[in-house]
Amino acid sequence: MENRWIAYLIPPFIVTLLLVAGSQFVFIQNSFYQDLGLGRTGTDLTLVNYLKFFTDSFYLKTFWITIKVSAIAALLTLFLGFPIAYVVARMKSKLAMFLLAGIVVSTFVTIVIKVFGLIIIFSADGVINKTLLNLGLIERAYSIIGTQEGVVIGLMHFTIGFSVLLLYSVVVTVPPSLEYAAQIHGASRLRVYQRVIIPLCAPGFVVGGLMIFNMCMGAFTSAALLGGGRVLTLPVLVQRTVMMEVKYSTAASIAFVLLVSVILINLFSLIAIRRLRSARLVVA
């Protein structure tokens, strides 16, 4: 019986393998040949593209900025998304469903539109700059374009809806009765958060945080539009290398470094957290 069900998985598996893994294999294979420009490659296997990446300060800095803005965006998105997810999860009225539906719909809006919305809001004559200028908090309109802060805001905007949905599914697994029990025993609201809700949601935070981080690491549009050509992340660099320089092998090596680094960061994070939890259990 089980084997029959597994048989249904074979066609999508083959399609995925061909379309995703197959194309990626060709691309990655290219990265091990010297880049001769204009789509041409050398004939001998070599690590020269990778050596260039790991010895050139420009590539290393771009790599670091990609990790930095992705990590900051993931943390801030979790920080912003959790209270929303918690409130929606604990709502007893039908409004919760409408809010959730609104969040789902907003995630379908194309990222280009979302980013242009941000650009309008943060423009010199936009709401935020006008308000800050009128309040006398700034002397001159501030632009988020071309700054790392702007890229972080763009990445948060890109992932916030997804994070709320993800954290909502975590919060609903925590029975409200546990919170009531803690309160009955004298715990304040803050203490309930610290000792009950957050520890129980912690695995969800970790998985959610990593998923958001992964999305940010691969995000192109927000980084390209808000980076304004001044802040480069690895996905933007891959696009520039392919489009401007037509250097496929170099672009493939950058993409492969990005892919492997994301996998490794995820693995190490999960291992570290598992060890941390084991250590805590031993201490407890």
Q: Which residue intervals of 91-147 are DSSP H helices?
A: 95-108, 111-121, 127-134
- In whole angstroms, what is the distance from residue 89 CA to residue 168 CA? 6
- In whole angstroms, what is the distance from residue 1 CA to residue 244 CA? 54
Taking CB under 8 A as the criterion, which residues in 112-131 touch another protein? 120, 123-126
Q: Smallest distance, Å, CB 147 to another protein?
A: 8
Considering only 72, 155, 232, 258, the residue that binds another protein (CB under 8 A) is: 232
What does the block give as tokens for 55? 């010895």
Residues that bind another protein (rule: CB under 8 A) add up to a total of: 33
What does the block give as tokens for 152? 């972080």
Each residue 167-206 as x (binds another protein by CB under 8 A) or -, in order, gives ----------------------------------------
Q: Is residue 284 at the binding interface for another protein, with CB under 8 A as the rule? A: no
Q: Cβ closer to another protein: 193 or 220?
A: 220
Q: Is residue 13 at the binding interface for another protein, with CB under 8 A as the rule? A: no
- In whole angstroms, what is the distance from residue 63 CA to residue 60 CA? 5
Q: Give the closest residue to 257 by CA, choosing from 63, 84, 77.
A: 63
Q: Is residue 145 at the binding interface for another protein, with CB under 8 A as the rule? A: yes
Q: Is residue 69 at the binding interface for another protein, with CB under 8 A as the rule? A: no
Q: Is residue 242 at the binding interface for another protein, with CB under 8 A as the rule? A: yes
Cβ-Cβ contacts under 8 Å for 284 (sequence gap 6 or more): none
Q: Cβ closer to another protein: 16 or 23?
A: 23
Q: Cβ closer to another protein: 85 or 216?
A: 216
- In whole angstroms, what is the distance from residue 153 CA to residue 115 CA? 10
What does the block give as tokens for 114? 């979302």
Q: Which residues bind another protein (CB under 8 A)?
A: 37-39, 57-58, 61-62, 65, 120, 123-126, 140-141, 143, 145-148, 224, 228-232, 240, 242-246, 248
